[in-house]
Amino acid sequence: MKQTECTTILVGKKATIDGSTMIARSEDGGRTIIPERFDVVMPGDQPKHYESVISHQKIDDADLLENPLRYTSAPDASGKNGIWAAAGINSDNVAMTATETITTNSRIQGIDPLLEEGGLGEEDFVTLTLPYIHNAREGVMRVGYLLEKYGTYEMNGMAFCDKDEIWYLETIGGHHWAARRIPDDAYVIAPNRLNIDEFKFDDPDFIASQDLENLIAEYHLNPDLNGYNLRHIFGSSTIKDAHYNNPRAWYIHNFFDPDFGGDPSDQDQPFICHANRKISIEDIKWAESSHYQDTPFDAYGDQGTPEQKKTFRPIGINRNFETHILQIRNDVPEKIAGVQWLAFGPNTFNSMVPFYTNITTTPASFQTGPKFDLNKIFWLNKLTAQLGDTNFRVYGELEADFEQKSLAQCHKIQHETDKEAENYSGDELQDKLNEANQKMANTVYNNTVELLGNMVNEGHSLMTLKYDLLD
């Protein structure tokens, strides 16, 4: 069940094109399809008693704080393995994405091993954190408290943002953790490895378990001559990292800054980076959909050998089940500042929808069920992606046109709604935003049906099973 294939992208407010903070992640899985849905959790629906499905960890009722906030989430549709809320924005315009599966090493595992019984995991963190925090830094402290009290059975990274700050936290062993604030003018690419490098224990932009610095000293964990690099101390530097993790970061670094250069397998690519331009929603979506285009490593390309095309794990992949960009805007009133851009299915054949999060319901087409249903955008996107994969050279251009058209139409609806929202507040405003979300969901759903029809028309004459007297 563990979703181990994610890619996280974080962009500070001075690095984005519109001055918003953005935290994004593709929530990927394994060989089994994991349908995802889009929900809004009202305060009365937040659990008053909680027990993890996987680990059976019970949470003290006192830790399920009173007066939880409303929040959006993208949980697993079946719920059989727990909630797995994944990502959302609460009514105080604080966003959280959790989690990015990361790596560890035997040195820290010999000191603070991951729990074999009990503890929290990806299944739990959003549900136990997002309704109770009022800024990004509080998110770090809340998760830190939960980790120290209940522990964890897996290594994870997670991110939080409000209108001003972005924080990224990584778990360390069974009960320890570290987090750092992302500079406003910087971006981060975090694949499935421990990512935080430089760490300063005497700087307020860095927070960690109270005893972490002493633990490093006591057990002689620091291999560096100067300073602290948490990736060197607590992470890995393996052949798997060189093929599975590092190339994803390398490719996007070169997309955001063509002068970055470097080698795909480089184990020491920097955590904090700066782009050569302001980063847009479209840039992040493209990055989350990427598969090493214009390199020998592109599975759909014509530059590489069959072996090269299988060398590195791409970001856009069949195991993308849900991808989000959580955006807190600074150029609009707070009542419409939170936007959860959301797409289901493989990112090579889908489009993001910018859902307002000051809402009371979600569109029916995004309320996915566990069984195949073409009335739900998740299953429709899976179908278009699997058909598109049979001949990307033919279908790829159709997808590019579809995505540009869909994003343009959603932007237009969003611009119109932003202006109209000035005249609304309270329940009337939420009704207006529910209506806008429904309109955007309908637009993208209908465009996806049209894309599928265009793919069928184009593919008709390309089938192998054909015979024509004129052939």
Q: 435-467: per-residue pLDDT in tens? A: 999 999 999 999 999 999 999 999 999 999 988
Structure tokens at 338: 């939170």
Beta strands (DSSP E) in 38-89 are 39-41, 50-51, 58-59, 71-73, 87-89
Q: CA-to-CA distance for 97 and 393, rounded, in angstroms?
A: 34
Q: In the annotation, is 6 catalytic? A: yes
Nearest alpha-carbon partner for 377 in 288, 452, 433, 326: 452
Type of residue found at 409: Q
Is a pLDDT exceeding 70 seen at residue 186? yes
3-state secondary structure (DSSP) of residue 392? helix
d(CA 153, CA 277): 40
Phi then psi for 52, rounded to 5 degrees? Answer: -65, 140
Distance CA 331, CA 120 (A): 37
Q: How confident is the model at residue 468 (pLDDT cuts 50, 70, 90)?
A: confident
pLDDT (average), residues 78-89: 97
Q: Could you read off the pLDDT of 375-389 as tens digits, one per residue?
A: 999 999 999 999 999
Q: Which of 6, 161, 273, 410 is catalytic?
A: 6
Indicate if the pLDDT at residue 1 is higher than 60.
no
Neighbours of 306 (CB within 10 A): 7
- Asked if residue 355 lies in contact with residue 341, where contact means CB atoms within 8 angstroms, the answer is yes
**To the nearest whole percent, how much of the chain has pLDDT over 90?**
97
Length of the chain counted residue by residue: 471
Of all residues in the chain, the percent with pLDDT exceeding 70 is: 99
pLDDT for the residue numbered 185: 98
The mean per-residue pLDDT over the stretch 410-438 comes to: 98
Q: What pLDDT, in 10s, does the model give residues 117-144?
A: 999 999 999 999 999 999 999 999 999 9
The mean pLDDT of 141-150, rounded to a whole number, is: 98
With a cut of 90, say whether residue 3 has pLDDT above it: no
Q: What is the dihedral of CA 42, 48, 52, 56, to 10 degrees?
A: -170
How much is the average pLDDT of 188-216? 98
Task: State how far the alpha carbon of 208 is from the alpha carbons of 127, 168, 173, 211, 388, in Å.
Answer: 22, 11, 13, 8, 45
CA 408, 351, 451, 471: dihedral to nearest 10 degrees? 120
Question: What is the DSSP code string of 397-421?
Answer: HHHHHHHHHHHHHHHHHHHHHHHHG
The pTM of the whole model exceeds 0.85: yes
**Structure-token pair, residue 170:** 């990584």
How many Å apart are CA 381 and CA 86, to the nearest integer? Answer: 19
Domain with residues 7-368, CATH architecture: 4-Layer Sandwich (3.60)
Q: Enumerate the domain spans of the chain.
A: 7-368
Q: Is 277 exposed, middle or buried (0-12, 13-18, 19+ CB in 10 A)?
A: exposed
pLDDT given at position 2:
45
Please write the tens of the pLDDT for every residue from 292-337.
Answer: 999 999 999 999 999 999 999 999 999 999 999 999 999 999 999 9
How confident is residue 4, by pLDDT bands cut at 50, 70 and 90? low
Mean pLDDT of all residues in 389-395: 96
pLDDT bracket for residue 469 (50, 70, 90): confident
Contact of 64 with 134, CB cutoff 8 Å: no
- Confidence class of residue 35 from pLDDT cuts 50, 70 and 90? very high
3-state secondary structure of 3: coil
Residue 471 confidence class, pLDDT cut points 50, 70, 90: low
d(CA 13, CA 329): 9
